[in-house]
A and B are shown apart, each in its own frame.
Chain A
Amino acid sequence: MVPLNTTKADVEQRRSELLKVLDEELREVTRLNKQVGAQRPDLMIRMAQVLLEKGRILKDLENQKFLEIPAGERDKKNKDEVFKESRQYFDQAQKTVLTLIKKFPHFEEKADAYYILAYNAKEIKQEEQSKKYFQKALNESRSGTVVADKSRIALAEIYFNSGSFDKSLDLYESALKTKRDKWWTKDAYNLAWSYFKMGKYDKAIATMNESYELSKNNKFIDMSKNIERDLAFFYTEAGRSDEAISFYKKNGRSVSEVMLKVGKYLKTQGKFAAAEKTLNDGIQYKQNEKEEVEFNIELLSLYEKFGRDQKHLESCRALAVQFSKGTLNADQLEVLKFNSQKMAALVQQQLVAKTYEHQNEIKEKKADSAYEYFMIASLLTPAKSQEDFFHAGETYFAIGKYDKAIPLYAESIKRSQQNGDKLTEGLASNALMVSLGKGVKKSTSDEFLIPAYESFLASSPKGDKSSVIYQRLFSAQIEKKNFVAAEKVLINYKSAFPLENETQEKMLAQIMDHYKDIGDKSALSSWAKRIDLGEFKVSQGYAQKVKTLVLGMQFEKVEQASNKGDKKGALLGYLQIYKSPETDVEAKKTAAYNIAVLFYDTGDANQMYTWADRSSSMMNVNEMIKFEKDYILFSTDLFQRRQFFESAALSEKVFDKICLSDSRNKRIFFKNANVIYLAEKQFEKSKNLLVKAPKCGLKNDIILPAYLDHLNELAAASKWSSFYDIIKMLEVSKEMWPDLIYPSSLLASELESIGRVGDAKKIRSQMVAYFETSKKQKLDIPLEGLDAISLVRLDGLEAQVKKLSESKLAFPEGVYNKILTNKFVLINNITTEAVSIAEIGSGVGVVKAYRLLLTAYKSLSNEINNFTPEGKSSDYINSFKKDMAKRVALLDKQAQNFKDTAIKKIEKENILSSDNAWFLAKNDLPFIPVYFNESGSALMDKAGTK
């Protein structure tokens, strides 16, 4: 073999050389034309020939390039563009020849011209045109010339290809009288076929033989392969088969090989009977297994066509054997598959259609052959063999051979499972079920019933019939005392029919009865646990029954001890249950709770706390709610025994448990826990609890007071670090603002005391904002808040009062008047501010504001009254004093009014303020007592402090 690339390279090199030569030829013809000085027809012919030849080579090249383009892209290519260059040469050749014919109508070699036109037309696929020109070329040519013979051959080929063998025959006969060139053998081969087609077998055979002999000569095209193939056919058709065999033997050819080829060829020609005969004869001469396979492959379709069933089956068998040896190629395998499947299906169809209904023997034979085809098919395609087994089973089923069908169905099921074919598995299972119900032998039933149920359920776990099948299978397993398998059935059943509680319950009952009967507590409690966990949807009654059964088994003795007052015995019993690994959670928590109760009863607070804590951990929400009052008792008891931490912890734990429930007691657990945490200065725990509160659905009426408690406790404990943060957190809720004023004032004072005056000022500004907003929204502001606000404002007021006495009256008169005017403006402002403070509503604020107001008035009154201008005449002074006395009187009167108002307010509004005495006390002491009673006794608190 020559490597392909070498061949290709050689072809390309040759093509390239040819193109060079043709170009040179074109140049030479042109040069010659120039030399002879005129267009000459012979040169024009030559020119056209060269152009045509170049066009053909270029087309060959273009075609090669075109075929090298990937198929997808190739379709998109414009073919005119691809073959543009060659087309130009064809056109030029055409044009040259047409000009020649027109210009030289009597040109002797006109045949050549027409031959070129014909060839050109052939190149561009104008078959009719080509034929016309070849005919003209023939008509114009002189007898015996090359162009005459070539035209004849070309025409003969056209007629041969179009099936006009009578015409091709005459033309070939005439053209091939002389063996002009190497193509003679090839043309003679066509002539032989023309003879053959015209029924002239002897001439056909003779011509083939002549061509065959000449093919041995390397001066001729070697047609031997085609002839060897076709001659056998000729001989066969001519009824001279023996001669064919002699021919091939004589020529050292393998008879079988040729017969095989001929057989194949005959098939392609639709000569099936001849093909069968040839192949049947040929197989006798087979040389090896490969050849045998090829014969059988070819024969299959022929046997089928002629209804040779037995032979068909035999061929299939033989091929199946070869398949097992691995000697079939992919195509052959496909043929065998197709045939075995087709025949199997065909026979099966006949049986199903009851074609042989009354011919039992034939029926059975047919079924057996179908079975064999199916088995061959299953061998060929293991991945689908389940279908073949199923169909084989169906075949036997169709003729009522159920005992034969059942194992096939079973095998089909098995293979379906292996191959993951649910559909076939389902069909086979159904069929198996049906077959088992057809009165089969007991041995068959014993062997296949349970597998049948199982496979049925495997393929159809939730089908209409499946529920019943589960129950049958369950019963069958129970009957066989195979409880493990029965349990499995139950599990599968539950999975397939989760809502069939009743049936599940019945199955469960059978299983639990079995364990109860054999006293297997472990198995029982295991099943009970699964029921309890909801794995099985059973009726409440049954669930309770089971629970009771199991708990009963566990608490039976302990309860007996408890009822007898044997608390120690009961405790030990519960502890044992609690610690037992077999005890389930339900029993454990019951035990833990009972232990806590027992310790509460015995007054062992520590143990009580421990078990209350444990049991609460194990209980679910509903259980917790159910027992919450007991836990209030437990926590109260702990508080009373000053085990604050445990009390709070237990309260919080229960609170957490019932957090999302709607239990009303959860606010008790919350408050208790918070109060105890605050009392114990456990601010972090309190804070965590507070954070959880809204999530557990507690409202602000519970939460906010708790926060305020928290803030107040923080202030009390001087824990300022988180103080501001909490204020800021609460600030988010505006309804909290009234309550934030007082704590803020505490914070401001603290800041002021440590010198952070600026920060204190900011806090106070915020306080004022809280106040103003709350007032606008008509929210109730706590009295401490009002006091705090008043105190802030009073600071300002006090500063103004102080300012009033800072500038002193002085003369001359203009200056005096200006100072006095300013003082009056200032006192007017003080009055306004004091009244405003008094209106805040803070008792302390009211009293203090009036006190400062009164002080201011008195101060100004005294200053004016005591001022005497210096260096003035007495008249002036008198006049001045008189005038000033009026103003003093006015000031004093106003001061008296304010005092009266203040006293009225103190009395009417029951104001308790350290400044009350300033208004009320009638003493001459240089100081004013802080606490004052009209009766003169002192008011003391419970602790003896003020």
Chain B
Amino acid sequence: MKKSFLSISLFILATGLSATVQASVQDAWKIYQTGNKNLYPQMVSELIENKMYFSSIPFIKEYLVTTTKVHDPAFDKVVDQLIAEVGIKQFELLPTNILEKSDAATIRYILARKAFRAGKYDQALKYLGKSIEDWNPVKPFALLLEGSIYSVSKREEQATRIFKDCVDISNDHIKKEKDIDRLRQLKISRDYCLVGIPRSQFAMQKYDAAYTSYLDLDKSSYIWPEILFEEAWNSFYLKDYNRTLGKLVTYKAPVFSYIFNPEIEVLKALSYMELCLWNDTRNTVEAFYNKYEKENEAYKKYIDSMGKDYKLYYSLVKEHSDGKIKNNAILNTALASIAKDPAYLELNASFNTGLEEIERMKAVGNEKMRALLNENLHESLNMQRNLIGSYIRGHLQLYAAQMVRAFEDMSYIKLEVLSKMKTDIYENVGVSSNELRTRGNFAHLMKTDKQYFWTFNGEFWADELGDYVFSLKSDCR
């Protein structure tokens, strides 16, 4: 267990760490002094031995840039070890041709991610095609990526198969993993693989299958709150709008207040629209506009004013997590949401690891070496902080875009409703029906054996979350 290992390490650290550090660093210094960059992997290996991860990064990068091709399992091991500690972000920024010099599983994973992002799915699969051993720490993540590639490229069967493998292998890794951060990452990755199946089914318009598959995700999952929204969409496609609305109402629970997803309201409006409840739809749209229109303007102005000062972004989340609340609901939710984002957590965990390195650096006796490593560490940590800041900025911008998109969607929904209202008027359908609409009617529910119906009593119970179902009668003719 990593945790006990850590405590042991700490124990060791307390007893004889200083001498060990000194030895490896000295070895590294010697290699460095040779001026032979081909020996950098070895040097880094020495440094890793001393947990000098962030200070090693520049050496590895330099090695990759200067070398032609690496066919060295030792190097691969070093790289895998290093990335496992500092995160993939530090290396993602390297150009593809540099990264391609290495066959290290983690590097391939990084390349596949880059290709995936660029929409080059086949290329991404090629990167992943070279076998990554099941034991490799990046394996669960690689499988998630692979499944996703199949999924988006409409290869459902492969996707499902890969996702299932992903779940299995992730579970194997979870069993072995002790580090709490990595464990969380693995679980999250596993759960993504788990919902990769319904996602794929959803993409293939197999909504019924997807509906059942989504139920496999445990409500305790870290990603469940986010996936609930996908389930809502799936119900929507199943034309089970009451269930969609029920799932969406879950987001009103205070425990989900950190969720930033304006699309929740959009989907709600859409569901009302599909039920031909024009006034409910319009009310939802108007409520959204009333609530967010001005806030969003201020929000945009605020984040625009921050420019690209990544340090500022970094501080923003950090301070929010420390309890400094801003005077803008969107910003607060966005910051809360980012603070709970797995990627952010991973980046931040790495950064914190880097910070620990500073302490360790003090133990380095060789001043020149310490200065060199300090410079490296500084550079890498700065970069890590900037990566975090950039990530935050990206998210804040993304949220801003989501808000715009939501407003746009809301307007389109309203326009659609208005069109339908016009049609009704033209076709002489009573504009204001005298028939009282009844809410909460069982007859309007479509239930499966995996679900339970909970009577809404005004309170949210944790185990009810996601299971609410509305029973509105459709006003459609």
A-side interface residues toward B, CB under 8 Å?
A: 10, 13-14, 17-18, 21-22, 24-25, 28-29, 31-32, 35-37, 46, 53
Contact = CB atoms under 8 A, between A and B. Distances in A.
Given A35-B411, A36-B404, 9 more contacts: A10-B428, A14-B425, A18-B426, A22-B418, A22-B422, A28-B411, A28-B415, A29-B411, A32-B411
A21 B421 CA distance: 7
26 contacts: A13-B431, A17-B421, A17-B431, A18-B426, A21-B418, A21-B425, A22-B418, A22-B422, A24-B414, A24-B418, A25-B415, A25-B418, A25-B422, A28-B415, A29-B411, A29-B415, A31-B289, A31-B411, A32-B407, A32-B408, A32-B412, A32-B415, A35-B411, A37-B404, A46-B415, A53-B422
B404 A35 contact: yes
Interface string B271-313: 0000000000000000001000000000000000000000000
A11 B419 CA distance: 18
Contacts of B415: 25, 28-29, 32, 46
Contacts of A28: 411, 414-415, 418
Contacts of A29: 411, 415
B411 to A, nearest CB: 4
A36 B422 contact: no
Given A28-B411, A36-B404, A18 B422 contact: yes
A259 to B, nearest CB: 35
Nearest to A23: B418
A158 to B, nearest CB: 23
Contacts of A32: 407-408, 411-412, 415
Contacts of A13: 431
Nearest to A30: B411
B298 to A, nearest CB: 15
B278 to A, nearest CB: 10
Contacts of A31: 289, 411
A25 B418 CA distance: 6
Nearest to A11: B428
Contacts of B404: 35-37
Nearest to A37: B404
A18 B422 CA distance: 6
Nearest to B420: A21
A42 to B, nearest CB: 10
B425 A17 contact: yes
The winner among B411, B415, B426 for most chain A CB atoms within 10 A is B411
Question: 6 closest pairs, A vs B, by CB?
Answer: A32-B411, A35-B407, A25-B418, A28-B414, A17-B431, A21-B421
Contacts of A37: 404
A742 to B, nearest CB: 118
A913 B411 CA distance: 146
Interface in B392-448: 404, 407-408, 411-412, 414-415, 418-419, 421-422, 425-426, 428, 431
A24 to B, nearest CB: 6
Contacts of A36: 404, 408
Interface string B45-65: 000000000000000000000
B409 to A, nearest CB: 10
Nearest to A10: B428
A31 B418 CA distance: 14
A25 B413 CA distance: 11
A22 B418 CA distance: 8
Nearest to B296: A35
Contacts of B411: 28-29, 31-32, 35
A18 B425 contact: yes
Nearest to A35: B407
The winner among A10, A13, A25 for most chain B CB atoms within 10 A is A25
A37 B404 CA distance: 10
Contacts of B425: 14, 17-18, 21
Contacts of A21: 418, 421-422, 425
The winner among B404, B419, B422, B428 for most chain A CB atoms within 10 A is B422
Given A25-B415, A46-B415, A14 B408 contact: no
Nearest to A46: B415
A24 B417 CA distance: 11
Contacts of A53: 422
A13 B412 CA distance: 26
Contacts of A14: 425-426, 428, 431
Nearest to A36: B408
B272 to A, nearest CB: 16
Contacts of B412: 32
Nearest to A31: B411
A902 B411 CA distance: 149
A13 B429 CA distance: 12
A484 to B, nearest CB: 84
A215 B428 CA distance: 19
A165 to B, nearest CB: 30
Given A28-B414, A28-B415, A46-B415, A35 B422 contact: no
Given A25-B415, A29-B415, A35 B408 contact: yes
A443 to B, nearest CB: 79
A789 B415 CA distance: 128
Contacts of B289: 31
Contacts of A24: 414, 418
The winner among B414, B415, B418, B426 for most chain A CB atoms within 10 A is B418
Contacts of B414: 24, 28
Contacts of A22: 418, 422
B431 to A, nearest CB: 5
